[in-house]
Each structure stands twice: as C-alpha cells, then as structure tokens.
Amino acid sequence: EQYLESVKASIRAVAGPTFNPASPKQIAELLFDKLKLPVITRTKSGPSTDAAVLETLRHQHELPDLLLQHRMLSKLIGTYLEKLPGYINPATGRIHTNFKQTGTETGRLSSDSPNLQNIPKKTDLGREIRAGFIAGPGKLFLAADYSQIELRVLAHLCDDPTLAHAFHGGADIHRFVAAQVNHCDEASVTPVQRNAAKAINFGIIYGQTAFGLSQQLGIGRAEAQTFIDGYFARFSSVKAYIAGVIAEATARGYAQTMAGRRRYIPQLASGNRNERLQGERIALNSTIQGSAADLIKRAMLRCDSMLPDGARLVLQIHDELLVEAQEDVAPKAVLALRDAMIGAWKLDVALVANARIGRTWLEVS
C-alpha cells in the first residue's frame, strides 16, 4: 500500500493533484489530448487505454509505465491481499479452488472461487503473493513445469528438423532462432534480435501479425514484417504446417488436438474476412495449445499412480504441477513428479520438466 501511494504521488506530479489514475476517461484525455501521444486503438467510447496500449506507449513517456504500475498494485491489493484470506476454509485452514474441465475453449483447465491459476508470477512484487501459500506441518511443496511446452508441441507437429535439432541440443531456442533468421552465429545475436525471435516464437501460435509484433517490440511495422518473413523463410516447414492446419480445419469445420479432441470453428465458413481470419487463428491456437493441455492432463493422471504415499497433487497451473509431500518422501516424490511429466507423451522433441522443492509456493516458483 505504501508503494501504491508512492506511485500515485509520481502520477499526480505529472498529471496534477485531482487526476484519478483509475479513470479511463481522464487517462485518455491526459495521454492523447494533453500529452499528444498517438492513439493506438479505438473502442466505441473513444481511444483505448488498456494494458496493451499502455505497454506500447511506455517507450514514449513515463506516465504510461506509472499507470501500469498503479494497475498492477491495485490488482495485487484488491484481488489477492484483501480477498484471498476470505476463501480459507475454517475446518481445513486451506483454500479450495474449483476446477472446470470445460472452462476454456482450447481445453485448458480453468479455476475459480478463487482462481488460483492467475496468482502472479512474472513480477517480483506479484510473486511475493505466493509466499503466503505454505505447505502443511512436516510437509514440503514440490513443483515442476514444462519448458516451452507449446514450442515443443509445434516442433513435433510441424516436423521441422532444424527446430528439433535445437531442442535436442538444449539450445536457447530464442537465441537459436534469432541466429537462424539473421544469418549470424548465436554469440552475435543482439538483445533486440533475441526479443524479436522470442515474440515470434510465442506469437506464431496465436497468429502474430507484423502490426502486433511492432506494437509489442516498439519497432516499425516494416521491420517487424522483415523479422516474420525471415522466420518463415528459415523455418519453411512451420509455415507449411500452419497453412495445412488452416486448410484442414476449413475443410472439416473443426480443429483437432494430438489426442483427437475437436473444436468446431464456425468463423472459418464466414463470409466476413475478419471473422475468417479470426477462425484461422483459433484453429492454430486450438491445435497447439489444446495439445499441450491434453499432454499435461496425461501427466496429472500419471501422477496419480506414480507419486509415492504421502505425496499428492494439489494444484495445476496450465504447464505446471504443484504437489504437497511429507518431508521424508519429498526427494522420491519430486523425481516421480518429473518422470510423470516428461513421460506423458512421446514427442519427436524431448519434453523437459524443471522440478523444485520448497516450504512455500514462492520457493518453488
């Protein structure tokens, strides 16, 4: 709360003492009318001030970054610090979430009352929330998460020998891709090139466009298109695979995961071009992310039979599993957890799961 007040003071030093940093209307007036920053996207009510817009504008002025900090801190306090204690079951002393098998369209599990799959992980302050989750007396937390699971699924499905070789060799996949696209050795890759490769590696699953990449990296659209063209020129099998997924889904009316689970996509038959493009993105995302979701569900089933007595699965966070185990069985259980995950599916590229042991959820994050 002290940090939040400090951020508010910094905002008002720029915006004035009456400025409300929680008001989208006041934010839009300040950013676009007073500071003359460019409008990135529009909604029915006017220029958008959502997180993606502020992320883009943070390169041009200090205020968007301060507003992002304000939103993050307000969410940490309002969503987690104030509300989570109210979910503690007085009989067990624990928080019990609800998991929904059909809560997402790609097949991922979702969680509510409360949502324990969105406890922050990416920011240092957000990660501290996880320190409040402590293993029971005489017990430890064990956690393992898949390394770049969706990229490995993509490499398996598209049968790209260059990508497969990189994963088999344990390369930094983003640096490796940057070197391939820019025709240089990995030691010569610049931070900008690696960031672009990382954005493309992850964005390709969601139908990344030159405009989206330019906004994400703060570069020109032409430069972003050059990165994308270079990627597809070097990894032509990925481009062919994407085209094949879209063509097959369009012909059948649905996309299908490795496990055979289908998602019907009516947008693919739309007469509206934008809706068809949306359907194409859905088809690709459903195939890759959906297959990764099937894979970790298999890992969960394997945990049921492979974890030793005194250890049990307590939480799934998309590509991560959290186990609570008695201290004396924790060393054996963490190996079983890792083996359950890496053996869940035989891919052309090896699955990698990094396992950790700790007293709190933060320590194993």
The domain made up of 124-149+295-364 is a member of CATH 3.40.50.2030: no
CB 140 within 8 A of CB 314: no
Nearest of 217, 187, 176, 184 to residue 199 by alpha carbon: 217
Round to whole Å and give the CA distance between 153 and 202.
12
The CATH T-level fold of domain 2-82 is Taq DNA Polymerase; Chain T, domain 4 (1.20.1060)
Sequence-separated (6 or more) residues with CB below 8 Å from residue 339: 306
Instruction: List the beta bridge partners of residue 322.
Output: 143, 315
Nearest of 72, 87, 79, 78 to residue 126 by alpha carbon: 72
- CATH label, 150-293, candidates 3.40.5.10, 3.30.750.24, 3.30.230.10, 1.10.150.20: 1.10.150.20
Domain boundaries along the sequence of the chain: 2-82, 124-149+295-364, 150-293
DSSP state of 50: S
CB 304 within 8 A of CB 313: yes
Tens digit of pLDDT per residue, the chain (365 long)?
888 999 999 999 999 999 999 999 999 999 999 999 999 988 888 999 999 899 989 889 999 999 999 999 999 999 999 999 999 999 999 999 999 998 899 999 999 999 999 998 888 888 999 999 999 999 999 999 999 999 999 999 999 888 888 888 888 999 999 999 889 999 999 998 998 899 988 887 778 888 888 878 878 899 889 989 999 998 889 999 999 999 999 999 999 999 999 999 999 999 999 999 999 999 999 999 999 999 999 999 999 999 999 999 999 999 999 999 999 999 999 999 999 999 999 999 999 999 999 999 999 99
